[in-house]
Amino acid sequence: MAQPSLKQMTRHGRLKVGTFLVEFNTPGIGQILKAGGCEFVLLDMEHSGFGIDTIKQMLRYMQAADMPTIVRVPSREYHHAARAMDAGAEGIMLPMIGSAKVARELLSYIKYAPEGGRGVALQIAHDRYEPGPVLDKLKAANKRSTFFALIETAEGVENADEIAALKGVDALWIGHFDLTVSMGISGQFDHPDFVKAVKRIIAACRKHNKSLGRLVPNAQVGTQLFGQGFDFICHSGDVWMLQQAMRNAADELHASCTGERKWGSG
């Protein structure tokens, strides 16, 4: 059975479990994650140091694994969004979206005419280098491209309903650390104002039948958020999963293997 596209995944509220890549770009990473039960991947360009050449390679790795992939680009500049799309990104996440006006402008960067103003380049990575009628290709690309609006400011919360209502916005995503900073309550995820803000975003997604995602540190938090209305649960990330697995094993070994092994005398 073929893996559903990212666009198809945003069309239902069932659980989707993924992870965040900020460090590891080995060729096998997509298939490693697929074998581990991962259903989507978020590739980060904002904080990872990954450049467009690395992202282009990683998108081929994900394509080989049939792994739906979102690329978070480092800014709201046209060239970042458009180049990621040309490199083959199916999903685009753009930071600091505060209003429907901003979201509408950013959508125009990833959509071809008549839906947007993306510059046309065909028979390259995004259409798998295949020839074909121009209008068919533009239509197919517009249908495939999937837009994740990253809500991580107080302004974005205030305008969450109008952002979620916008045609072309497929999902909202909460940047929880930046949102608390924007609200003046850095890292206080149990603060009443943050809880209220999250509820407001959830309500907007429910009203307009839009998916909602967030990065979570563990399965317990992910389960709680799914119960609240989140369906894209991005579990941890490459660096932290490796660190945690190593730490757990090291701590267990040091706790269990006490004393000192005796060396032989011969």
Residue 262 in domain: no
Any domain includes 1: no
Q: Summarize the confidence of residues 243-253 as an average pLDDT.
A: 97
Say if residues 104 and 149 touch (Cβ distance below 8 Å).
Answer: no
Kindly state whether residue 230 falls inside one of the protein's structural domains: yes
Per-residue model confidence (pLDDT) at position 263: 83
**Percent of the chain topping pLDDT 70:** 98
Report whether pLDDT(101) > 70.
Answer: yes
Q: 40, 18 in Cβ contact below 8 A?
A: yes
pLDDT at 265 over 80: no
Residue 168: is its pLDDT beyond 90? yes
Token match 């947007």: residue?
A: 116
Specify if 265 maps to a domain. Answer: no
Rounded to whole angstroms, the Cα distance separating 93 from 85 reads 11
Q: How many domains does the chain have?
A: 1
Check residue 1 and give its pLDDT. Answer: 54
Q: Is 39 within a domain?
A: yes
Cβ–Cβ under 8 Å, residues 124 and 150: no
Token pair of 16 as six digits: 């989707």
What is the Cα Rg of the chain in Å? Answer: 20
| Residue 261 counted as domain residue | no
In the predicted model, what is the mean pLDDT of residues 80-99? Answer: 97
**pLDDT for residue 11:** 97
- Domain residue limits at 195: 6-256
- For residue 64, the domain's CATH number is 3.20.20.60
* Ramachandran area for residue 49 (φ above 0: left; ψ -120 to 50: alpha; else beta): left
pTM over 0.75: yes
In a domain, 149, yes or no: yes
Has residue 144 been placed in a domain? Answer: yes
Tokens of 26: 């080995």
**266 has pLDDT over 80:** no
pLDDT category at 107 given cuts 50, 70, 90 is very high
pLDDT tens, position by position, 120-163: 999 999 999 999 999 999 999 999 999 999 999 999 999 999 99
